[in-house]
């Protein structure tokens, strides 16, 4: 009963993980701003700003665009429970733990769920979805643009085409890709798109930006049955985020401040510059990793998700020992594999604020030291050297493009 708990003093980590990513100091300052009520007239303006910025980042005019008071998994849940009801069919493209999660959550609805799968490390083939849906009435086709468990990028366009043929809505998880990878919700006609705040937006975890097309809104309006979740029923949640600003639940006001500031930073940089930054930093990271003699899980460069690089753990090297030494000696956190990839890969995240040249070079130098200590023969300085070369090459390329 007399135990004294000390003041909170978390270590200052460099989070090169697949989320959360480290945050800009401006976002910390926004978090510490004075709390106001969620119906305060001033806060309503802050909500307007949040929605304006979110539409810019999703590149959409969708009315129904808002942050859900939930982590990224809440975005999955909202997408499937609002669309699926008794008698419906869904096709979910599964190529990793998070796209599998979409299938699992969809299986909690009364709809029939078909998984179309690809091995971890590859995107699902849109042709397989076409085959699976042929002659059936499909309500949604779901996929993850960025599959964080394996570092795989899926190109949306082919799936839009197939969803059109099947008369289905297209649901896209951009938790690991929004603000890092090209995405145009309106132009690519994504019907429901959701993300997480803790990855390439570099805000704290705990919110899920979501946007819904007018066509999907119409599907919500014409449901025959109630949405199975009260909390995630988007039509009632929009009473608060819509023009009436009516109480629905108490939102995390301070997280909304932080998200607003993080999104301001995204738009100050510009989406295209940000996409390019993520691309160039991952190329340098990959050059360094390969020069150290390590292999990547995702073999085809076009399939690599710029925010998460999956590195095969060499034989005889202990996954946890490497990650622990990086943390203890360099304050750098990277992630291990999930599910069937546990102890087989490391996942290095370069997301949002963390996708920086200085961090790539620091990581490669630290990794060299750790791998040598763990008994792997690594050519001295090769990782950093190859990354420097990659940056030099990228800059000359960029100069050519801009001329
Ligand atoms: C692609 C993807 N979808 C969904 C999620 C779930 O998000 P959260 O952990 O914020 O609930 C994650 C988390 O890493 C993810 O990477």
Closest ligand 1 atom, CA of 196? Answer: 10
- Whole-number Å distance between alpha carbons of 212 and 65: 6
Give residues (CB < 6 A) around ligand 1: 19, 71-73, 98, 144, 146, 148, 173, 175-176, 196, 205
Locus of tokens 């301070």: 254
Beta partners for residue 143, in sequence order: 172
- If you measure from the C-alpha of residue 86 to the centroid of ligand 1, how many angstroms do you get, rounded to a whole number? 27
Distance from Cα 142 to the centre of ligand 1, integer Å: 15
Q: Do 191 and 215 form a contact (C-beta atoms < 8 A)?
A: yes
Q: pLDDT per residue over 204-225, tens digit each?
A: 999 999 999 999 999 999 999 9
Helices (H), 84-118: 97-106
Helix (H) or strand (E) holding 117, with range, is: strand 112-117
Protein residue with least CA distance to atom 8, ligand 1: 72
8-12, 212-216, 272-276, 395-399, range with the lowest pLDDT: 395-399
CA of 217 to the centre of ligand 1 (A): 24
Rounded to the nearest whole angstrom, what is the distance from the C-alpha of residue 332 to the centroid of ligand 1?
21
Residue 148, pLDDT > 90, answer: yes
pTM of the entire predicted model: 0.97
Predicted confidence band at 402 (pLDDT cuts at 50, 70, 90)? Answer: very low
Report the separation in Å between the CA atom of 67 and the middle of ligand 1, taken as the mean of its atom positions.
15
Q: Does residue 360 have a pLDDT over 70?
A: yes
Distance of CA 151 to the CA centre of its chain: 11
The residue whose CA is least distant from atom 5 of ligand 1 is 72
Contact (CB, 8 A) for 255 and 197? yes
Residue 339 binned pLDDT confidence (cut-offs 50, 70, 90): very high
CA separation for the pair 284, 265 (Å, rounded)? 24
End-to-end CA distance of the chain: 70
Cβ pair 133, 91 in contact under 8 A: yes
From ligand 1's centre to the CA of 72, what distance in Å?
Answer: 5
Label the pairing between strands 14-15 and 332-333.
parallel
- Give the 3-state secondary structure of residue 171: strand
Q: What does the pLDDT read at residue 398?
A: 46
pLDDT for residue 322 is more than 50: yes
Strand bridging mode 345-349 / 335-336: antiparallel
CA of 177 to the centre of ligand 1 (A): 11
Q: How far is CA 367 from each of CA 190, 225, 329, rounded to the nearest angstrom? A: 39, 54, 11
Residue 86 to residue 196: CA distance in whole angstroms: 29
Q: Which atom of ligand 1 is nearest the CA belonging to 19?
A: 14
Q: What is the pLDDT of residues 56-83, one digit of tens each?
A: 999 999 999 999 999 999 999 999 999 9
Task: State residue 337's pLDDT score.
Answer: 98
CB-count burial class (<10 Å; 0-12, 13-18, 19+) for 71: middle
Residue from 15, 20, 21, 73 to probe ligand 1 pocket by mutation (most atoms less than 8 Å from CB): 73
Which atom, in ligand 1's list, is nearest to the CA of 76?
Answer: 4
């Amino acid at each position: 009963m007399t135990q004294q708990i000390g003041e909170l003093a978390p270590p200052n980590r460099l989070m090169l993980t697949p989320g959360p990513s480290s945050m800009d100091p401006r976002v910390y300052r926004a978090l510490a701003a004075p709390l106001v009520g969620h119906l305060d007239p001033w806060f309503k303006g802050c909500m307007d700003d949040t929605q304006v910025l979110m539409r810019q980042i999703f590149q959409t005019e969708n009315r129904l665009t808002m942050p859900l008071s939930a982590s990224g998994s809440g975005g999955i849940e909202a997408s499937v429970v609002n669309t699926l009801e008794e008698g419906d069919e869904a096709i979910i493209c599964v190529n990793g733990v998070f796209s599998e999660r979409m299938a699992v959550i969809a299986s909690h609805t009364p709809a029939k769920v078909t998984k179309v799968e690809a091995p971890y490390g590859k995107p699902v083939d849109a042709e397989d979805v076409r085959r699976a849906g042929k002659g059936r009435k499909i309500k949604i086709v779901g996929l993850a643009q960025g599959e964080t468990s394996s570092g795989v990028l899926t190109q949306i366009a082919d799936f839009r085409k197939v969803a059109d043929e099947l008369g289905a809505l297209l649901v896209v998880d951009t938790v690991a890709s929004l603000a890092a990878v090209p995405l145009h919700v309106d132009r690519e006609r994504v019907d429901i798109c959701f993300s997480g705040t803790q990855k390439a937006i570099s805000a704290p975890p705990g919110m899920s930006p979501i946007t819904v097309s007018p066509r999907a809104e119409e599907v919500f309006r014409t449901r025959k049955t109630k949405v199975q979740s009260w909390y995630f029923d988007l039509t009632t949640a929009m009473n608060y985020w819509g023009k009436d600003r009516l109480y629905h639940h108490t939102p995390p006001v301070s997280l909304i401040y932080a998200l607003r500031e993080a999104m301001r930073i995204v738009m100050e940089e510009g989406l295209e510059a940000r996409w390019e930054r993520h691309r160039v930093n991952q190329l340098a990271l990959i050059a360094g990793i390969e020069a150290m003699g390590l292999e990547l899980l995702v073999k085809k460069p076009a399939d690599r998700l710029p925010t998460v690089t999956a590195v095969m753990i060499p034989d005889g090297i202990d996954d946890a020992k490497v990650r622990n030494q990086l943390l203890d000696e360099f304050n750098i956190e990277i992630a291990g594999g999930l599910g069937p990839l546990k102890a087989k890969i490391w996942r290095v995240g370069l997301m949002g604020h963390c996708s920086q040249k200085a961090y790539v070079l620091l990581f490669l130098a630290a990794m060299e030291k750790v791998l040598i200590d763990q008994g792997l023969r690594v050519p001295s300085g090769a990782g950093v050297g190859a990354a420097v070369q990659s940056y030099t090459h990228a800059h000359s390329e960029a100069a050519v493009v801009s001329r």
